Structure 1
Amino acid sequence: MRFKAMVLEAFGEPLRMREFEIRELAEGSVLVRTLASGVCGSDVHIAKGEDPRTPVPIILGHEGVGEVIEVVGEKKDINGEPIRPKDRIIWNRGIVCKKCYWCTVAKQRHLCPNRKVYGINMTCKDYPHLLGCYSEAIVLLPEVEVLRLSHDIDPCTIVTASCSGATAMNALDSLAEPLVGKTVVVQGVGPLGIFIAVAAKSLGASTVVVIGGSLERLSVAKEFVDVSLNRRELSEEERKKRVLEITHNRGADIVIEATGDSQALLEGFNLLRRGGTYLVTGVAVPQQPIPFSVYENLVLKGITVQGVWVSDTRHLIQAVNIVASRSKVFEKLVTHKFKLEQANEALECVEQRKALKAVICFE
């Protein structure tokens, strides 16, 4: 069988269509026809060579939903259900070693230093090649954890759970206390920020505030958050004043950075109440250091700062459940759809922030 894929052969150059032949696969492998591939903001950074993990050549795309073509031997999903041809599935984009300290002792598998990720650090140079989602088909290696999906939900909608959704759930899962009754401020209204906002509200947050600079994205967010603040219309001081008004002059219980920009932390610390929690979820590539006032921002306020890195399989399941229960909301997140051969246009669309969520759809 032969399948086409869009390949990044050199950083900073357009992706090129290539064809790969699939022959014998290892026992436990699953050959999957791609139904939807999310175009993540990190794909833009990867294509430019800004992610130190990435080799070339590589098939980009770490967010995928597909239909099973072939199962080599026996394969069960994480619920113990056998995987068969024609099943629709989603999978954990990362493969961990299950042998290191983080996998075996700390029980923080997503922090495994040996973690391999589809579309990020797995080259297509070597067989079985199809290790990214910008492709007509994907080979899921025996170690990959998969989840069967209902045929009722649109693949281009449920794919939002794969990366930003799972990362959002990892962030909220790291909180020491339930969200019930809490005021949450989310910095950023991209797919990650909006997923966090929807999930926080779903899990009981009393007030969810989002801060962003895109009118289009803010208009989508307004439908399911309590307060939206446009950083292009309100100064940083005005935004802080609004948050203090909402919180009886205390500040937010939880602030979540979902902008991808370390500079956002400088505002975020000032929006947080004493004893509050700051979750940093969006910074995915190396950036310049920021000035940090340890006494004023950390010690005096007694805050907790939590870095959030990728996700584990349980977070993927949580994200799938959130999307499935609120599919109408998440349908609105997918604002742009592309064909496989339009992958370069999709990346440009995401880079220019024209799309809230862009998806390569194969149906």
Structure 2
Amino acid sequence: MVKAAVMNGPHMPLEIQEFPEPVLEAGGIVLRTLYSEVCGTDVHLQHGRLAGVPYPIIPGHINIGVIERTGGEVRDVDGALLREGDLVTFLDVHETCNNCWYCLVARASTRCPQRKVYGITYSARNGLLGGWSEKIYLRPGVKVVKLPEGLAPEAFIGGGCGLPTAFHGVERAGIRLGDTVIVQGSGPVGLNAVIL
């Protein structure tokens, strides 16, 4: 059995529940969770500020773990073979349509209406699909990124969700060296935007 923190609904305390070990599909991966962050999105989930959340959920969408088992041959985003014991993270947004305006024009697949997001759009009834659990089941097709040798998992998780979100904002805004900008808000995303 695997323990996970479950959010049963807005304004409700988290509960620790037990789940069966995931059944591996071909192309699936079981991660032993090392780190999972608490993001502002998790706070919004707790306060009921996001529509369509299929409570109960296992929160946690930015994670790092060690591959415990794979369902056959699985490769990372660069095509390298993944093995048991590899230190990895994964892209929490997946199953995008690659056909809508957000996917094709805006290059913002995180807004695709068909997307699935670990820790947000999956119910705990669907299994270990959130990072606040001892293990995470990566469904076939989830994009996995192997951490480079020498990068400590603590250093990686320190950037959390705020760093890639800020990077995406800076990139989309077309900000270049020498530009003058104002960053309003000093939360994790704002602070990372200032750093970038």
After superposition, what is the alpha-carbon deviation per residue over 1:93-135, rounded to whole angstroms, capped at 9, x for unaligned?
A: 1013335323764362233111111111111113xx1011111
Contact persistence 1:37–1:156 (CA under 8 A): no
Alignment match, 2:116: 116
Q: What's the offset of the Cα at 1:44?
A: 1.1
Higher helix share: 1
- Equivalent residues, number: 195
Alignment match, 2:125: 125
Alignment match, 1:154: 152
Tell which has more relative contact order, 1 or 2 (C-alpha 8 A, sep 6+). 2
1:191 equivalent to 2:188? Answer yes
Percent identity for Structure 1 against Structure 2: 34
Alignment match, 1:81: 80
Contact persistence 1:96–1:103 (CA under 8 A): no
1:94 equivalent to 2:88? Answer no
1:173 equivalent to 2:188? Answer no
Alignment match, 2:47: 48
Q: What's the offset of the Cα at 1:49?
A: 1.4
- What is the TM-score normalised by the length of structure 1? 0.51
List 4+ stretches of structure 1 deviating above 3 A: 102-105
Alpha-carbon distance in 1 for matches of 2:71, 2:19 = 19
1:163 equivalent to 2:161? Answer yes
Alpha-carbon distance in 2 for matches of 1:172, 1:15 = 35
What is the 5 A alignment of 1:284-299? Answer: none
User: RMSD over aligned Cα, in angstroms?
Assistant: 1.8
Q: What's the offset of the Cα at 1:18?
A: 0.6
Contact persistence 1:57–1:125 (CA under 8 A): yes
Alpha-carbon distance in 2 for matches of 1:114, 1:89 = 25
Any gaps of 5 or more consecutive residues in structure 2?
none
What is the 5 A alignment of 1:9-88? Answer: 9-88=8-87
Provide the secondary structure at the position in 2 that maps to 1:19: strand
Alpha-carbon distance in 2 for matches of 1:152, 1:17 = 34
Alignment match, 1:332: none
Alpha-carbon distance change, 194 to 103 in structure 1, aligned in 2, over 3 angstroms: closer
Alpha-carbon distance change, 103 to 144 in structure 1, aligned in 2, over 3 angstroms: farther
- What is the TM-score normalised by the length of structure 2? 0.91
Contact persistence 1:91–1:162 (CA under 8 A): no
Structure showing greater Rg = 1
Provide the secondary structure at the position in 1 that maps to 2:157: helix
